[in-house]
Amino acid sequence: MHEKQPAVLLLEDGTRFDGFACGKIGTTTGEIAFNTGMTGYQEVFTDPSYYGQILVMTTSHIGNYGVHPEEVESEGMKIAGLVTKKFSDIYSRTAGVASLGDYMETEERVGISDVDTRALVRHIRSKGAMNAIISSEILDEKELMNRLQEVPSMEGLELSSFVATKESYEVGSEESEFRVALVDFGVKKNIVRCLAERGCFVRVFPMTVSIEELKAFNPDGVMLSNGPGDPSAMPEQINLVKEIINWDIPVFGICLGHQIFALSQGLTTAKMHNGHRGLNHPIKNLITGKSEITSQNHGFVVTHESLEAHSAIELTHIHLNDNTVAGIRLKGKPVFTVQYHPEASAGPHDSRYLFDDFISNMKTFKS
Ligand SMILES: NC(=O)CC[C@H](N)C(=O)O
């Protein structure tokens, strides 16, 4: 345990919060976002879709169950920084191997604790997403603001290339019933696990893969992964997905994969006032009429206006809090995508059936 060191959180609009340093002593910048999940902080912090974001956890105690090597969604922490109310230096869980503070230091992540996170979240909820800086080495507001002004806006930022694989790799056995080509934009490990558990041999391809390389693998289906950043800043990947759709193979897309699919078909995406990040987001499946409680993490969304004007794409799921587009499919084709996280790690398993739907599409396609 360390002596508490002062730290500052400064938002782009000049709002300042004082607290204490947690994790590495240093400075970090990014877009500020909040997650309302009450558990699963290690999975969240290692989710590649959070790359470039300073994350506020609304649950008031973070760190109290330490960290565990298996509870990661990628190799290492991906959030740009952490904001909490109470940061626990000690942890109580027999399976824990280290404290969150030690893990953040090893992973070189800067955080700030003892912030009034309720006031902070109310502020960003009304003002909308904006950039922020956390520092435990610079406390001078002018200097912090100068640094903050150099941080690019999330809108227009391509971030997948910082977190997605550069080399292909395989998961599962080649003897498996289905072969899935996964295009990696920043994949969460649990997506691959959910496929492997259902009898899939998965080859994870870098996002620079060509359509010929994908075809050469002879897959039964293509999975488009989640990932960070603005989907509209990825013209090559949008083009690749257009080619995948023309190939007429089963496709399943999650989050960024869903947004890139939408853009490839001429729909548009927009930046949300505030994203959806948490474990209890209500979704309605418009095909079955059933609701599901879902895990979410996104700051962009497919627009209703573009969808209404498109005759080949059908709305399949809506978000019940704000009616935003949560799932779509290509009419008459085995192609569907969702804005939320059926692999939900952490989170409820209500939406796991989407993996089964993908499997059943591949079964039909094979025969
Ligand atoms: N989880 C994701 O794939 C996020 C997608 C995209 N980066 C967004 O914020 O909307």
Q: How far is CA 106 from CA 98, 100, 110, 320, in A?
A: 11, 10, 11, 40
The domain that holds 66 is classified in CATH as: 3.50.30.20
300 Cα to the center of ligand 1, angstroms: 6
Q: Has residue 51 been placed in a domain? A: yes
Please indicate whether residue 84, judged by its CB atom, sits closer than 6 Å to ligand 1.
no
Query: What are the pLDDT digits (tens) for 261-312?
Result: 999 999 999 999 999 999 999 999 999 999 999 999 999 999 999 999 999 9
Please indicate whether residue 41, judged by its CB atom, sits closer than 6 Å to ligand 1.
no
Judge if 130 and 180 occupy the same domain: no
- Please spell the DSSP secondary structure of 160-196, one letter per residue: HHHHS-SS-EEES-TTSSEEEEEEESS--HHHHHHHH
Judge if 182 and 303 occupy the same domain: yes
Query: What are the pLDDT digits (tens) for 31-74?
Result: 999 999 999 999 999 999 999 999 999 999 999 999 999 999 99
Domain that holds residue 48: 6-148
Q: Has residue 32 been placed in a domain? A: yes
Q: Has residue 321 been placed in a domain? A: yes
Judge if 109 and 67 occupy the same domain: yes
Q: Has residue 72 been placed in a domain? A: yes
Please indicate whether residue 227, judged by its CB atom, sits closer than 6 Å to ligand 1.
yes
Mean pLDDT of the chain: 97
Domain count, the chain: 2
Query: What are the pLDDT digits (tens) for 151-164?
Result: 999 999 999 999 99
Judge if 101 and 35 occupy the same domain: yes
Judge if 95 and 218 occupy the same domain: no
* Phi, psi dihedrals of residue 293, rounded to the nearest 5°: -100, 130
Active site residue 305: no
Judge if 180 and 327 occupy the same domain: yes
Ligand 1 atom closest to 47 (CA): 1
Judge if 258 and 361 occupy the same domain: yes
What is the C-alpha end-to-end distance of the chain, expressed in Å?
60
Q: From atom 8 of ligand 1, which residue's Cα is the shortest distance away?
A: 298
pLDDT of residue 3: 74
Please indicate whether residue 299, judged by its CB atom, sits closer than 6 Å to ligand 1.
yes
Q: Write down which residue in 148, 176, 205 finishes a domain.
A: 148
Residue 147 has pLDDT above 90, yes or no: yes
Judge if 299 and 352 occupy the same domain: yes
Residue 2 has pLDDT above 70, yes or no: no
The domain that holds 228 is classified in CATH as: 3.40.50.880
Q: What is the dihedral of CA 83, 89, 93, 96, to 10 degrees?
A: 80
Q: Has residue 180 been placed in a domain? A: yes
Q: Has residue 256 been placed in a domain? A: yes
Q: Has residue 154 been placed in a domain? A: no
Query: What are the pLDDT digits (tens) for 102-138?
Result: 999 999 999 999 999 999 999 999 999 999 999 999 9
Ligand 1 atom closest to 297 (CA): 1
- Please spell the DSSP secondary structure of 195-261, one letter per residue: HHHTTEEEEEEETT--HHHHHHT--SEEEE---SB-GGG-HHHHHHHHHHHHTT--EEEETHHHHHH
Ligand 1 atom closest to 300 (CA): 10
Active site residue 341: yes
Are the beta carbons of 36 and 58 closer than 8 angstroms?
yes
CA distance 222 to 58: 36
Q: Write down which residue in 117, 148, 179 finishes a domain.
A: 148
Judge if 221 and 75 occupy the same domain: no
Please indicate whether residue 256, judged by its CB atom, sits closer than 6 Å to ligand 1.
yes
| Amino acid at the residue 327 | G
Q: Would you call 124 helix, strand, or coil by DSSP?
A: helix
CA distance 179 to 195: 10
Active site residue 150: no
304 Cα to the center of ligand 1, angstroms: 17
Query: pLDDT band for position 168 (50/70/90)?
Result: very high
pLDDT of residue 345: 86
Ligand 1 atom closest to 228 (CA): 7
254 Cα to the center of ligand 1, angstroms: 9
Query: What are the pLDDT digits (tens) for 217-227?
Result: 999 999 999 99
Q: Write down which residue in 128, 148, 168 finishes a domain.
A: 148
Query: What are the pLDDT digits (tens) for 182-214?
Result: 999 999 999 999 999 999 999 999 999 999 999
Judge if 342 and 315 occupy the same domain: yes
Judge if 122 and 205 occupy the same domain: no
The residue to mutate among 182, 223, 225, 298, having the most atoms of ligand 1 within 8 angstroms of its beta carbon, is 298
Judge if 140 and 178 occupy the same domain: no
Q: Has residue 155 been placed in a domain? A: no
- Which residues are documented as binding site for L-glutamine? 49, 227, 229, 256, 259, 297, 299-300
